[in-house]
Structure 1
Amino acid sequence: MEYKLIGNVIPAVEVTLHKGEAMQTQSGGMAWMSQGLTLESNVKGGLARGIGRMFSGESLFLATYTAEKENAVIAFAATVPGKILPVNVSETKLICQKGAFLCSQTTVEPKVSFTKKFSSGFFGGEGFILQELTGTGMAFLEVDGDLVEKNLGPGEVYKVDTGNVFAFEKSVSYEIETVKGIKNVLFGGEGLFLTKLTGPGKVYLQTMNFAEYTGRIASSIPSKG
């Protein structure tokens, strides 16, 4: 399997497959493909894991595209302005924001991952249900906006708006912290909670907070009457 990233604003990953190789994506994730590929949709891992994927922002069914000839080409495109992050799951185990999974080889399994503290997810907005990438092979993740990487040392802490946390290595601990001070909560414009990430490990941040982005669009839509 070979791949190349295409585009800058709303990018895509174009994959060239050898005969017998396959790629999987959530339902509707394919952008274009050449002849020589067959499609099979299934609930990979059974119904329970399929429902778990739904909670983590993906579809119940995964679409699997298998090459029936050499050098079959298939592309998967991002849905919002941003980046595509290639991840070798054999070497790097990541916890990702819900909806980050774009596509992967069929040897990769995206599954639901829960934070250790229920309060973290209950109050953290997007934090409670995350995705974990397991297995082996290449996966491609969809980043909202630009990607910023931070390497945290042991005990090093970053506090981030929840919507700007994209992914982090499993060695990084994760919890929700309350913003102190009633005036800060009411007038600071940053909400009530922040995500606290503690090293060691690599953290991936995204410059676009999709919830704020869609909120601004919604507020600009004229109301009826």
Structure 2
Amino acid sequence: DIEMSTSTRGGLLKGLGRKLAGESLFMTTYVCKSATGMITFTPEAPGRILAFDLEAGQSLICQKDAFMAAQEGVSLEMHFRKRLGAGLFGGEGFILQKITGPGLVFMEIAGDVREYDLAEGEVMRVDPGHIALYEPTVDYDIAAVKGLKNVLFAGEGLFLATLKGPGKVWLQSMPLNNLAAAIRRYIPSKG
């Protein structure tokens, strides 16, 4: 027997903060009222579900809509990108999600996922849409793609994200906007 209740969890301001970060104003809580019970969740798009057992104070920064579910002790709040370029050209805007433990949290990632552990000062450049989540120790910035031919013919856009370690980064293989663009080609147009 599973009981379900919905509230703004933390009040209206916390709920509005979650809404700005891409989640619902409301949070749903499920409580098992018997000795055994099961609840299941599925991702909104083809992809993977990742589980993280966060310690008290441990955080992850993630794209909007990555949060799926968590234990009671986990907090979900807005995370602002501090750099103008990263906010304007970083694919997700200025507002991301910050998830902080303690507790188990489940994240949904579009497509497959690849984890990288960047060493101190190690730099990775990647299309901003492929960044699913990263640890707060990772420095995130945006840099313009160099070279006219690269801009015109590479198909990667005008900007690349620069991730500088130390810290872990999780990349997704199929950002939702790429999936939507791929599907759109097969939808018949009116005519």
- Is TM-score (shorter-chain normalized) higher than 0.5? yes
Residue matched to 1:149 = 115
The answer for the alignment partner of 1:56 in structure 2 is: 21
Q: Residue 64 of structure 1 aligns to which amino acid in structure 2?
A: T
Tell me the CA shift for residue 127 of structure 1. 4.4
TM-score, normalised on structure 1? 0.80
Contact 1:176 1:195 in 2 (8 A): yes
TM-score, structure 2 normalization = 0.93
Aligned-residue sequence identity (percent) comes to 46
Flag as ranges the 4+ runs of structure 1 deviating above 4 A: none
| 2:95 corresponds to 1:129 | yes
Q: Does 1:174 align with 2:145?
A: no
Greater displacement, 84-93 / 94-103: 84-93
Q: Does 1:46 align with 2:1?
A: no
1:160-201: CA deviation from partner (whole Å, max 9, x where unpaired): 111111111111111111111233222220011111100011
Decide whether the 8 Å contact of 2:90 with 2:129 is kept in 1. Answer: no
Deviation for aligned residue 1:84? 1.0
Which amino acid is 2:75 matched to? Answer: E
Structure 1 position 149, deviation (Å):
0.9
Structure 1 contact 127–162 (Cα < 8 Å) conserved? no
Rounded Cα–Cα distance in structure 2 between residues aligned with 1:184 and 1:204 = 25
Indicate which of 32, 44, 48 corresponds to 1:79.
Answer: 44
Partner of 2:165: 199
Q: Which has the higher contact order (CA 8 A, sep 6+)?
A: 2
Task: Say yes or no: does 1:215 pair with 2:181.
Answer: yes
Does structure 1 residue 159 correspond to structure 2 residue 121?
no
Tell me how far apart the structure 2 counterparts of residues 102 and 139 of structure 1 sit (CA, whole Å).
8
Whichever residue aligns with residue 49 of structure 1, its letter is: K
What letter corresponds to residue 158 of structure 2 in structure 1? L
1:37 corresponds to 2:2: yes
Cα 1:172–1:64, aligned 2, differ >3 Å: closer, same or farther? same
Post-superposition shift, 1:137?
Answer: 0.6
Contact 2:61 / 2:135 at 8 angstroms: preserved in 1? Answer: yes
Aligned length: 190
Secondary structure of the equivalent of 1:63?
Answer: strand
Which whole-Å CA distance do the structure 2 matches of 1:220 and 1:55 have between them?
Answer: 32
Q: Which is worse superposed, 149-158 or 90-99?
A: 90-99
Q: Shift in Å at residue 220 of structure 1?
A: 2.7
In structure 2, distance between residues paired with 1:188 and 1:48: 43
Q: Is the 8 A contact 1:89 1:133 kept in 2?
A: no
1:166 and 1:214 map into 2 onto residues whose CA distance is 17
Q: Corresponding residue for 1:20?
A: none
- Unaligned 5+ segments in structure 2 are none
1:90 corresponds to 2:55: yes
> Structure 1 stretches of 5 or more lacking a match?
1-35
